[in-house]
Amino acid sequence: MKIICRLFFVFLVILTFAACSSTQSGNSKKTEQIQELKNVYNDYFLLGNIINNRYLRDPEYMEIITKHFNIVTAENEMKPDQLAPRERGGQYNFANADRLVNEMLAQNIKVHGHTLVWHKQTRAWMTQGTPEQVRQNLVNHINTVMAHYKGKIFSWDVVNEAVLERVNPGTNLNDWKIQLRNEEDSGWFRVLGSDYIELAFRTARAADPDVMLYYNDYNLNNSRKAQVVANMVKQLNDKYKSEGNTRNLIDGIGMQAHYNINTSAPQVRQSIELFISIGVKVDISELDVEIKIVGSNSFGTGKDSPTNESEQKLQAIKYAELFSVFMEYKEHIPRVSMWGIDDESSWKSMGNPCLWDNGFNLKQAFFAVADPSKFLIQ
Ligand code: XIL
């Protein structure tokens, strides 16, 4: 009996030791023992991340993508400047994007299409010429790309970032047309005015009556900008339905969610509730949470701004708070996608915004996402 007790005690000690070595203190690389994030959220929403040509060639990235995520967005490869010809009338170049899309579908991973119409990463010729020519360019681009990928894409960002970064304070938020990126910023607006948004969605809806269509933007945790976007989407949907259509023209709003450790989760919740109240779906489309606020395209190595344990904890808490909110609205949120796997290759590398660090070690943020309520209690 004594021996059995002793053996049992040794067994317990070993178990405790094993459990401790895989806890949340410090970054750990024990990928084989950890939860598959996509399974944690199986009953809630699709869980996504980005894919690009570099990831596709790297087994370490691909292991993470296939293990933890069930939907991807091409980081750059499906943007207008990548697909559309260099000059008007030239050949579309689908090779790079096709490789990503086909490889992902073959692995049973869904693909979100990003993005059809944007003021950035677009060929110059597309927004040059007479209004009629530019209108034709917009329609042709949407038709060509959507026809090419018909049946392969789960949902599309039809228009990206059309509303001003900061909407004009003291102006009428109901008049969304005065809150759009204007002549200086958007080639589409310069030639077509505010009409290009409705034209883009109607063209996309006609190209594929069944696929989910999104308006995607950032700073939507700002209540004023959220109000403008809600008004725009509601007005376009109301008009479309008043013509006898039974479904929405715009199915959902993508909240990019480029956040930082000071972002207010209650404000994020407020915007989600506002969008739900106008009868559309909400995607969290490009989530990352910066530790140091360094801004867009602050490329670095992920080692450039070293972080300490307590900063990493704040980041993890923010991820946990946000996921707790997302989970509450699962009926309305089809997808939560993150914008980057690891801090080194993130577009905001110097802000260390990801779940994996620059050596692919799991950060505290990973464990926060793997079990938000447990993390918050601890
Ligand atoms: C970013 C990419 O991550 C970078 O590689 C690229 O240089 C610039 O664009 N909003 C979007 C995304 O909709 O397409 C952007 O992606 C990030 C901000």
Q: Whose Cα sits closest to atom 4 in ligand 1?
A: 347
Task: Please identify which of the residues 283, 286, 288, 357 carries the catalytic annotation.
Answer: 286
Q: Using 50, 70 and 90 to split pLDDT, how confident is the model at 33?
A: confident
Q: Using 50, 70 and 90 to split pLDDT, how confident is the model at 294?
A: confident
Average model confidence (pLDDT) for the chain?
92
Q: Which pair of tokens denotes residue 13?
A: 């000690």
Q: List the alpha helices (DSSP H) in 243-361.
A: 265-277, 309-328
End-to-end CA, the chain: 38
Catalytic status, residue 286: yes
Three-state DSSP at 111 gives strand
From the list 323, 326, 319, the residue with the least C-alpha distance to 261 is 319
- Torsion sign, CA atoms 257, 252, 79, 64: positive
CB 188 within 8 Å of CB 240: no
- Atom number in ligand 1 closest to CA 339: 3
Structural Rg of the chain based on CA atoms: 22
CB 126 within 8 Å of CB 190: no
Average pLDDT for 337-354: 95
- For the whole model, what pTM was predicted? 0.92
Q: In degrees to the nearest 10, what's the CA dihedral of 208, 137, 114, 285?
A: -90
- Is the bond leading into 115 cis (omega within 30 degrees of zero)? yes
Q: List the alpha helices (DSSP H) in the chain.
A: 2-21, 37-40, 53-56, 59-68, 80-83, 95-106, 131-148, 187-192, 195-207, 223-242, 265-277, 309-328, 364-370, 372-377
User: Which residues contact residue 131 at a Cβ distance below 8 angstroms, ignoring those fewer than 6 apart?
Assistant: 191, 192
Residue 30 pLDDT > 70: no
Question: Could you report the per-residue pLDDT of 212-236, keeping only the tens digit for each?
Answer: 999 999 999 999 999 999 999 999 9
Query: How far apart are the CA of 297 and the centre of ligand 1, in A?
Result: 8
Residue 304 pLDDT > 80: no
pLDDT number for residue 28 = 61
What domains lie within the chain, and their CATH numbers?
A: 31-377 (3.20.20.80)
Q: Whose Cα sits closest to atom 9 in ligand 1?
A: 76
Three-state DSSP at 173 gives coil
Query: How far apart are the CA of 122 and the centre of ligand 1, in A?
Result: 12
Q: How many contiguous H segments (helices) and E segments (strands) does the chain have?
A: 14, 10
Least confident of 101-110, 167-176, 277-286: 167-176
C-alpha pair distances (Å), 253 with each of 135, 151, 282: 24, 21, 5
Least confident of 24-33, 207-216, 328-337: 24-33
Counting ligand 1 atoms within 8 A of each CB, the residue from 159, 286, 288, 354 with the most, and so the one to mutate, is 286
pLDDT number for residue 169 = 82
Q: Whose Cα sits closest to atom 5 in ligand 1?
A: 347
Residue 16 pLDDT > 60: no
User: Which residues contact residue 299 at a Cβ distance below 8 angstroms, ignoring those fewer than 6 apart?
Assistant: 347, 349, 350
Residue 17 pLDDT > 70: no
